[in-house]
Amino acid sequence: MFSIVDVETTGGIGGPTRLTEVAIFRHDGRQVVDSFHSLLNPGCPIPPFIQRLTGITEELVADAPTFAEVAADIARVTENSVFVAHNAPFDYGFLQKEFNWLEQSFERRKLCTVWLSRRIFPGLPSYSLGKLCRSLEIPVSARHRAHGDAAATVQLFEMLLNNDRQGLIQLKVKN
Protein backbone atom coordinates (compact mmCIF):
# COMPACT_ATOMS: atom_id res chain seq x y z
CA MET A 1 0.00 0.00 0.00
CA PHE A 2 1.24 3.49 -0.87
CA SER A 3 0.18 6.99 0.21
CA ILE A 4 0.99 9.53 -2.47
CA VAL A 5 1.29 12.92 -0.79
CA ASP A 6 1.76 16.57 -1.63
CA VAL A 7 1.74 19.53 0.74
CA GLU A 8 1.77 23.29 0.42
CA THR A 9 3.42 25.38 3.11
CA THR A 10 4.21 28.86 4.34
CA GLY A 11 7.89 28.39 3.44
CA GLY A 12 10.87 26.06 3.77
CA ILE A 13 11.15 23.19 6.23
CA GLY A 14 13.15 25.09 8.86
CA GLY A 15 11.72 27.28 11.56
CA PRO A 16 8.09 27.95 12.42
CA THR A 17 6.71 27.40 8.91
CA ARG A 18 3.41 25.55 8.69
CA LEU A 19 1.24 23.59 6.27
CA THR A 20 -1.46 25.34 4.27
CA GLU A 21 -2.75 22.36 2.27
CA VAL A 22 -2.37 18.59 2.15
CA ALA A 23 -3.53 16.00 -0.38
CA ILE A 24 -3.10 12.24 -0.04
CA PHE A 25 -4.08 9.47 -2.43
CA ARG A 26 -3.94 5.95 -0.97
CA HIS A 27 -2.88 3.55 -3.74
CA ASP A 28 -2.86 -0.25 -3.65
CA GLY A 29 -0.28 -0.60 -6.46
CA ARG A 30 -3.01 -0.72 -9.10
CA GLN A 31 -5.35 2.15 -8.32
CA VAL A 32 -6.34 4.84 -5.84
CA VAL A 33 -8.47 3.31 -3.08
CA ASP A 34 -8.88 6.27 -0.70
CA SER A 35 -7.97 9.94 -0.51
CA PHE A 36 -7.84 12.95 1.77
CA HIS A 37 -7.54 16.63 0.87
CA SER A 38 -7.83 19.79 2.91
CA LEU A 39 -6.72 23.39 3.04
CA LEU A 40 -5.24 24.14 6.45
CA ASN A 41 -5.21 27.28 8.54
CA PRO A 42 -1.51 27.65 9.45
CA GLY A 43 -2.17 30.12 12.26
CA CYS A 44 0.57 32.36 10.91
CA PRO A 45 1.04 34.74 7.98
CA ILE A 46 1.49 33.33 4.47
CA PRO A 47 4.31 35.24 2.75
CA PRO A 48 3.30 37.13 -0.43
CA PHE A 49 5.70 35.02 -2.55
CA ILE A 50 3.98 31.82 -1.38
CA GLN A 51 0.55 33.36 -1.98
CA ARG A 52 1.54 34.23 -5.57
CA LEU A 53 3.08 30.78 -6.17
CA THR A 54 0.22 28.69 -4.77
CA GLY A 55 -2.77 31.00 -4.90
CA ILE A 56 -3.37 30.11 -1.23
CA THR A 57 -4.17 33.33 0.62
CA GLU A 58 -4.81 34.03 4.27
CA GLU A 59 -8.45 34.73 3.36
CA LEU A 60 -8.72 31.33 1.63
CA VAL A 61 -7.55 29.43 4.73
CA ALA A 62 -9.20 31.65 7.38
CA ASP A 63 -12.02 29.14 7.97
CA ALA A 64 -9.99 26.01 7.12
CA PRO A 65 -9.24 23.45 9.84
CA THR A 66 -5.94 23.48 11.68
CA PHE A 67 -3.50 20.61 11.32
CA ALA A 68 -4.56 19.35 14.75
CA GLU A 69 -8.13 19.02 13.48
CA VAL A 70 -7.13 16.78 10.53
CA ALA A 71 -4.15 14.92 12.02
CA ALA A 72 -6.21 11.79 12.71
CA ASP A 73 -7.42 11.71 9.08
CA ILE A 74 -3.85 12.05 7.80
CA ALA A 75 -2.62 9.33 10.13
CA ARG A 76 -5.47 7.04 9.05
CA VAL A 77 -5.01 7.44 5.28
CA THR A 78 -1.22 6.95 5.51
CA GLU A 79 -1.28 4.13 8.07
CA ASN A 80 0.46 0.89 7.05
CA SER A 81 1.60 2.38 3.76
CA VAL A 82 4.74 3.62 2.10
CA PHE A 83 4.88 7.43 2.00
CA VAL A 84 5.41 8.49 -1.63
CA ALA A 85 6.06 12.08 -2.72
CA HIS A 86 7.96 14.08 -5.30
CA ASN A 87 10.88 15.25 -3.14
CA ALA A 88 9.67 13.04 -0.30
CA PRO A 89 12.05 14.46 2.35
CA PHE A 90 10.29 17.85 2.09
CA ASP A 91 6.68 16.62 2.33
CA TYR A 92 7.49 13.94 4.90
CA GLY A 93 9.54 16.37 6.97
CA PHE A 94 6.66 18.83 7.12
CA LEU A 95 4.13 16.23 8.18
CA GLN A 96 6.54 14.88 10.76
CA LYS A 97 7.14 18.40 12.09
CA GLU A 98 3.39 19.07 12.39
CA PHE A 99 2.82 15.75 14.20
CA ASN A 100 5.77 16.49 16.51
CA TRP A 101 4.19 19.83 17.46
CA LEU A 102 1.16 17.79 18.55
CA GLU A 103 3.52 15.49 20.48
CA GLN A 104 2.55 12.62 18.19
CA SER A 105 4.81 10.29 16.29
CA PHE A 106 4.67 10.02 12.49
CA GLU A 107 6.90 7.27 11.12
CA ARG A 108 6.42 5.85 7.63
CA ARG A 109 8.73 4.21 5.11
CA LYS A 110 9.49 6.73 2.36
CA LEU A 111 9.79 6.56 -1.41
CA CYS A 112 10.83 9.59 -3.46
CA THR A 113 9.56 9.89 -7.03
CA VAL A 114 12.44 12.26 -7.89
CA TRP A 115 14.94 9.53 -6.96
CA LEU A 116 12.92 6.84 -8.76
CA SER A 117 12.41 8.98 -11.88
CA ARG A 118 16.14 9.63 -12.25
CA ARG A 119 16.79 5.88 -12.20
CA ILE A 120 13.82 4.64 -14.21
CA PHE A 121 13.74 7.49 -16.76
CA PRO A 122 17.41 8.59 -16.99
CA GLY A 123 18.52 11.45 -19.19
CA LEU A 124 15.46 13.69 -19.01
CA PRO A 125 16.14 17.44 -19.07
CA SER A 126 14.68 18.05 -15.59
CA TYR A 127 13.18 16.09 -12.72
CA SER A 128 11.15 18.93 -11.21
CA LEU A 129 7.53 17.83 -11.11
CA GLY A 130 6.23 20.26 -13.73
CA LYS A 131 9.00 19.64 -16.26
CA LEU A 132 9.04 15.89 -15.64
CA CYS A 133 5.30 15.71 -16.21
CA ARG A 134 5.74 17.68 -19.44
CA SER A 135 8.46 15.27 -20.61
CA LEU A 136 6.29 12.24 -19.77
CA GLU A 137 3.07 13.84 -21.08
CA ILE A 138 1.34 13.71 -17.70
CA PRO A 139 -1.34 16.41 -17.42
CA VAL A 140 -1.09 18.63 -14.35
CA SER A 141 -4.01 20.76 -13.22
CA ALA A 142 -3.60 23.33 -10.48
CA ARG A 143 0.21 23.32 -10.36
CA HIS A 144 1.64 24.24 -6.93
CA ARG A 145 -1.57 23.13 -5.26
CA ALA A 146 -1.51 19.96 -3.17
CA HIS A 147 -4.40 18.18 -4.89
CA GLY A 148 -3.22 18.92 -8.45
CA ASP A 149 0.41 18.03 -7.74
CA ALA A 150 -0.53 14.88 -5.80
CA ALA A 151 -2.84 13.76 -8.63
CA ALA A 152 0.01 14.25 -11.13
CA THR A 153 2.34 12.33 -8.80
CA VAL A 154 -0.17 9.46 -8.77
CA GLN A 155 0.09 9.27 -12.58
CA LEU A 156 3.88 9.54 -12.40
CA PHE A 157 4.00 6.80 -9.75
CA GLU A 158 1.87 4.51 -11.91
CA MET A 159 4.28 5.10 -14.83
CA LEU A 160 7.19 4.32 -12.53
CA LEU A 161 5.52 1.11 -11.36
CA ASN A 162 4.91 0.04 -14.97
CA ASN A 163 8.49 0.83 -16.07
CA ASP A 164 10.46 -0.36 -13.03
CA ARG A 165 12.46 -3.12 -14.75
CA GLN A 166 15.08 -3.13 -11.96
CA GLY A 167 12.60 -3.74 -9.11
CA LEU A 168 13.62 -0.52 -7.36
CA ILE A 169 10.18 0.09 -5.88
CA GLN A 170 9.91 -3.39 -4.37
CA LEU A 171 13.47 -3.11 -3.09
CA LYS A 172 12.67 0.18 -1.31
CA VAL A 173 9.34 -1.14 0.00
CA LYS A 174 11.01 -4.14 1.62
CA ASN A 175 13.68 -2.06 3.36
Structure pTM? Answer: 0.93
d(CA 14, CA 52): 21
pLDDT (tens digit, 9 = 90+) per residue, 102-145? 999 999 999 999 999 999 999 999 999 999 999 999 988 877 89
Report helix, strand or coil for 7: strand
What percent of the chain clears pLDDT 90, i.e. is strictly above it? Answer: 87
pLDDT along the chain (175 residues), means of 10: 96 86 96 97 95 94 97 97 96 95 95 96 94 92 88 96 90 67
> Number of helices and strands (H, E) in the chain?
8, 5
Contacts with 15 (C-beta within 8 Å, 6 or more apart), sequence order: none
> ∠ CA 58-37-98 to the nearest 5 degrees?
65
Question: Could you tell me the domains of the chain?
Answer: 2-174 (3.30.420.10)
What is the pLDDT at residue 144?
A: 81
Tell me the β-bridge partners of 22.
Answer: 7, 38
